[in-house]
Amino acid sequence: MTQFGYPVLTSLIVFPVVASIALAALRDPRVTRMGAMVAACVEVLLAIPLLAGFDAAAPGYQFREYVSWVPQWGLAYSLGIDGISLIMILLTVGLLPLTVLCSWQYISQRVTAFHVCLLLMAAACIGVFAALDFVLFYVFWEAMLVPMYLLIAVWGGPDRRYASIKFFLYTLAGSTLLLVAMVAFYKAGGTFSIPELSAQTYSFRFQFWVFLAMSLAFAIKVPMFPFHTWLPAAHVEAPAAGSVVLAAVLLKMGTYGFLRFCLPMAPQASTYFAPYMIALALASILYGGYVALGQSDIKKLIAYSSVGHMGFAMLGIFLLNMHGLEGALLVMLNHGITTGALFMMIGFIYERSHSREMADNQGLGKYLPAYMGFWGLFALSSLGFPGLNSFVGEAATLFGAFEYSTLIGMLAIPGAMLAAAYMLRLSLRMAWGQPSSVPGAVDDHHGHDGHEAHEAPHGAHGHPWSDLGSREWTCLVPLAFLALWLGIFPAIAFKVIDPPLERLLTEFRARQAAPAAMAQSDGRAAQ
């Protein structure tokens, strides 16, 4: 229980589930949308106690809840958060009303089921970040698969069948090994409790194998090169809200898993594997950026840019120094805000032009000034422009990289440059390119490129391009505010994430040494 007299975290998880059951009874799409919006806003209100009651300086987990679940197996319903989980939960909750809002027109089929999936998704994601029991974590981790699968498979684009199955099978295949690791931990540590498991020491051989099993699950989720192939497919086919949740929350579960499980529970193996993980992270950064440069589909471009950004987060984690960890966490948060906003905006433009191709969405600066203004802001943020949110995270990661080794730092720099290259190229064409449609003049194809065989995607069936409506403004303003605020005053984020990261790192380093001493004494005993 907490100082608020009621289980705050449970209320955050249970409320969306209850709300979705209530929504399932509704039939009228308009009523459902309103209902979902109300539920999402209530969820935001329910998260206020977290902000009010969280003590950044206090050690350990806060808002603890503990109920024995299956006593015969030592399973417990155990929740609690530290600074790391707090920002991820706030991100999840904060995006919920925005995802409902940005699907207002986008989703016209099976509206009720869509919102049920969105709410269940949010509940599962919050559960993942709040769980302090390995099994409970796994339950939420897997439970999230089904609504996300349905979001892609039912409301997705033309190739949704392939994309959704690939997403499901890829993630499930990864998590089966996580299940095995979990079972192995239970037998080795005698408990499923995450804090208790993190406090114990395991043999290197054991750490080696569980690290591999867990990293596979988490690396697929991140996704890290070469396990990233499901991501572009899923992103491109998912509806706008699905892409937002996927980019902003789902991918973070992977990096969160590395921070919460791999580093504390397998410290020696983490050190052992760090160079390999750094190499893969660098590969993700460079490969993601390079492939993004070659995309003509805007959504695919942003999806590959996600691979690059999450590469930065992975790099930060396995640098195993304070700057790196801080940077990783900030990248996680800021990527959620910025890329979430970009995917939302792609949804908006798709509602107008019914195309995600760059060629069909060119020269918008003249017709959609407000849209391009926001786009410019988030694009600059995405490429790490100083003064905007992403810069802080990437800069901190790069500091960490140079601290680790100059070579690694030098190798990561081109990644940042590639981000500038593909984002500027995209934004340039979208804002000032040869206009792909003249409002009201649909019949006049004015033969640009001549490759437009399909129904002219010009300005929503011949209507002139219309700039952002009030609904869309409402979606973007909070994110734009956050992008600026976290860019100019990042100290607030540091204040929340520094204490848990410092503790993580201190314990990590302490346990680096301890087992080595133990191994030595073992060796002596053997002699």
Interface positions with other proteins (CB under 8 A): 69-73, 110, 113, 135, 138-140, 142-143, 145-146, 149-150, 153-154, 160-161, 164-165, 168-169, 172-173, 176-177, 179-180, 183-184, 186-187
Shortest Cβ 182–other proteins spacing (Å): 8
Task: Tell me which residue has tokens 């500027």.
Answer: 424
- Cα 171 to Cα 160: distance, rounded to the nearest angstrom: 16
Q: Which is nearer to other proteins, 234 or 330 (CB)?
A: 234
Cβ closer to other proteins: 18 or 70?
A: 70
User: Are the C-beta atoms of residues 261 and 214 closer than 8 Å to each other?
Assistant: yes
Beta bridge partners of 70: 75
Tell me if 407 sits within 8 A of 371, measured CB to CB.
no
- Cβ closest to other proteins, residue 117 vs residue 480: 117
Cα–Cα distance for residue pair 211/270, rounded to 1 Å: 7
Calculate the CA 134 to chain-centre distance.
Answer: 20
Shortest separation between residue 142's beta carbon and other proteins, angstroms: 5
The three-class DSSP label of residue 65 is strand
What minimum distance in Å lies between the beta carbon of 161 and other proteins? Answer: 7
Q: b/e string for 378-414 if b means 16 or more Cβ within 10 A?
A: bbbbbbbbeebbbbbbbbbbbbbbbebeeebbebbee
Tokens 């190229």 — which residue?
425
What is the smallest separation between the CB atom of 193 and other proteins, expressed in angstroms? 15
CB of 164 to other proteins, least distance (A): 8
Any residues with CB less than 8 A from the CB of 112 and at least 6 apart, and which?
23, 24, 26, 27, 29, 32
Closer residue to other proteins (CB): 177 or 431 = 177
> From residue 390, how far is each of 338, 412, 443 by CA, in Å?
8, 15, 42
Nearer to other proteins, 77 or 367 (CB): 77
Element spanning 411, H or E? helix 406-432
In terms of DSSP H, where are the helices of 222-295? Answer: 230-237, 240-245, 251-257, 263-265, 267-293
The Cα–Cα gap between 251 and 222 comes to: 5
**322-353 and 369-382 helices cross at what angle (nearest 10)?**
150
CA dist 306 and 135 (Å) reads 29
Residue 8 has which token pair?
Answer: 């705050």
Nearer residue to other proteins within complex by CB, 7 or 311: 7
Least distance in Å: CB of 137 to other proteins? 10
Min dist CB 143 to other proteins, Å, is 5
Contact 442, 458 (CB under 8 A): yes
State the nearest-atom distance from the C-beta of 470 to other proteins, in Å. 33
> How far are the Cα atoms of 85, 113, 476 from residue 100, in angstroms, in the given order?
23, 13, 13
Q: What is the closest distance, in whole angstroms, from the C-beta atom of residue 21 to other proteins in the complex?
A: 12
Smaller CB separation from other proteins, 14 or 442: 14
Whether a cis peptide bond, with omega within 30° of 0, leads into 7 is no
Tokens 């990042």, located at residue: 490
Closer Cβ to other proteins, 61 or 209, answer by number = 209
What span, in angstroms and rounded, lies between the C-alpha atoms of 330 and 336? 10
Handedness of CA 5, 8, 11, 16 (dihedral sign): positive
Q: In the complex, what is the shortest distance from the CB of residue 19 to other proteins, in angstroms, rounded to a whole number?
A: 17
**Sign of the dihedral through C-alpha 513, 516, 520, 521:** positive
Residue 70 or residue 407: which is nearer to other proteins going by CB?
A: 70
Of 171 and 306, which CB lies nearer to other proteins in the complex structure? Answer: 171
The least distance separating other proteins from the CB of residue 77, rounded to whole angstroms, comes to 10
Least distance in angstroms from the C-beta of 148 to other proteins: 12
In this structure, what are the phi and psi dihedrals at residue 194, rounded to the nearest 5 degrees?
A: -65, -45
Taking the complex as a whole, the smallest distance from the CB of residue 336 to other proteins amounts, in Å, to 25
CB 284 within 8 A of CB 318: no
What DSSP assignment string belongs to 164-186? HHHHHHHHHHHHHHHHHHHHHHH
Cβ nearer to other proteins, comparing 140 with 202: 140
